[in-house]
Structure 1
Amino acid sequence: MTQTGKVVAITGASSGIGEATARRLAADGHRVLLGARRTDRLEGLVEQIVAEGGTAAFRALDVTDAQDVRAFVDAARAEFGRIDVLVNNAGVMPLSPLEALKTEEWDRMIDVNVRGVLHGIAAALPAMRAQGAGHIVNIASVGAYEVSPTAAVYCATKFVVRAISEGLRQESGGDLRVTLVSPGVTESELADSISDPAAREAMKAYRAVALPASAIADAIAYALSQPPGVDVNEVIVRPTASAQ
């Protein structure tokens, strides 16, 4: 176990990439604060991390609520004294053709995938500026670089996250590191939110070859492990066998 001991706040930490990232970073010696709506899962995860010698805490979190995200960042500072890294991981992916007019699902993707990221930046940036250092890690998707049928709105949200990340990087002034991690098909619960039957069946075939969530956690750990003068800006991680 390394002794870097950064304080890392992770949104969407109750499953998938968020959970894997919590486990990996805690194993690396970082102190992690985990946020999600499913606190029962967070509680069990924290217990496992602590039992394995790591340092972790959790708090209920709804990333669509700006005040709640501010409270989440404040909780990290109260628990551990500072916040060094924010991993904006929470996301939803209820795919459907545009003609299905699932406007509530469109709104949900915008609220979680875009506003959630902005709420995280708004909450963490002042504290990181005051410290003179910090690291924002935004989880996007290969959908930030390409668009596929049924995924127009989802991909649009990830294009936005990519643009936000690049803008934040350019504005960083040298005291803030910004990393965009874009997973290809990864084992997660994202597809569980697809209500459109055709899109759900298509996604089953699309996800036949998938990365373990730990592969994305490893990419995040790599970005965090670099010395202060090195900023890993974009990482795309795909299954070797995938053409997508």
Structure 2
Amino acid sequence: MRTVSGSEAGVRRSLTGRTLLISGGSRGIGLAIALRAAQDGANVVLLAKTGEPRPSLEGTVFTAAEQIRAAGGHALAMVGDVRSDDDVANAVAAADTTFGGIDVVVNNASAIDLSTTDQLSMKRYDLMADINVRGAFMLAKFSLPSLRRSANPHILTLSPPLNLAPRWAGAHLGYTMAKYAMSLITLGLAEELKEDGIAVNSLWPCTLINTAAVRNMPDGERLAEGARRPDIVADAAHAVLTRSSRETTGNFFTDEQVLAEEGITDFTAYNSGAPGSPPVPDIFL
């Protein structure tokens, strides 16, 4: 394999003119995926809760839309909650009305709480179940009529491979169940929709990614030093979403795996910490 820079990922294929519906895309990995698509001139519909600035969170769905336009794409900002039937239905309808349909659904919105069972409140448990599981299922479900009209339809979910090693259930059962349920959505929909030609895949980073979710953890600033930039996931997502939907479905990809298939073998350009500091492996792998 040849070694190329991250900026060259997916140069042979493009999302030009395609429409992406992304949940939780106002910052972090979701925004990075949106900005990578915007470089091709894609249309991006963002469904996110943050409509007003918050001291603890960077950006809003509206500032994200401005960045997408500045990067060369078209953007539609939808303030809404992926847990709300009406909000999801409205986002799908707006994508149809504004851009003529949906080609790609990205299930990016996710809640995380790594507490043990004793310490995890049922409110936090319900939040993870509602956003991660119900939200991903509903966004995919409501988008299906539009996806079936696309020439190359994809559903991409940010969830890990189904690794049933007991350590992951024992470490944080509530979170593990929520993320593995997202992966079961990939497994089931890939089988259910294969005759429709709708690709359904999951993507997961091999290392920690420098996002607000990581920085807000205990000792988050130190963890961020051992993380990679969200661009590595965005470049991997771009590569998956520009492949043929009938030939790329039912996979649990990692970012490194996808980029290696694209010819990228040196990932150091994605590191966010000091030069020479090795990235911290992510969980579930």
Fold-level similarity (TM above 0.5): yes
Q: Any gaps of 5 or more consecutive residues in structure 1?
A: 195-199
Counterpart CA distance in 1 for 2:252 and 2:135 is 20
2:89 matched to which residue of 1?
A: 70
Is the counterpart of residue 182 in structure 1 residue 200 in structure 2?
Answer: no
Counterpart CA distance in 1 for 2:113 and 2:105 is 25
CA drift of 1:206 comes to 5.6
CA contact (8 A) 2:214 2:224 kept: no
1:18 matched to which residue of 2?
A: 30
Change (3 A) 1:136 1:220: same
1:125 matched to which residue of 2?
A: 144
Bigger mean CA offset, 111-120 vs 183-192: 183-192
Q: Any gaps of 5 or more consecutive residues in structure 2?
A: 1-10, 53-59, 257-266, 268-277
CA drift of 1:243 comes to 4.6
**Matched AA of 1:161:** M
Q: How does 1:86-235 map to 2 (within 5 A)?
A: 86-131=105-150, 134-141=153-160, 144-145=162-163, 147=168, 150-172=171-193, 173-184=195-206, 185-191=208-214, 200-201=218-219, 208-231=225-248, 233-235=251-253
Is the counterpart of residue 39 in structure 1 residue 42 in structure 2?
Answer: no
Q: Secondary structure at the match of 1:34?
A: strand
CA drift of 1:166 comes to 0.9
**Matched AA of 2:98:** E
CA drift of 1:174 comes to 4.3
CA drift of 1:226 comes to 1.2
Q: What CA deviation, in whole Å up to 9, does each residue of 1:64-90 have, x standing for no partner?
A: 112211111111111101101010100
User: When the two structures are superposed, what TM-score results if normalisation uses the length of structure 2?
Assistant: 0.75
Q: Secondary structure at the match of 1:99?
A: coil
Task: Provide the aligned length of Structure 1 versus Structure 2.
Answer: 237
Counterpart CA distance in 1 for 2:35 and 2:47 is 14
CA drift of 1:151 comes to 2.3
* Percent identity for Structure 1 against Structure 2: 29
Counterpart CA distance in 2 for 1:229 and 1:126 is 17
2:5 matched to which residue of 1?
A: none
Q: Secondary structure at the match of 1:227?
A: coil
CA RMSD between the two structures: 2.5
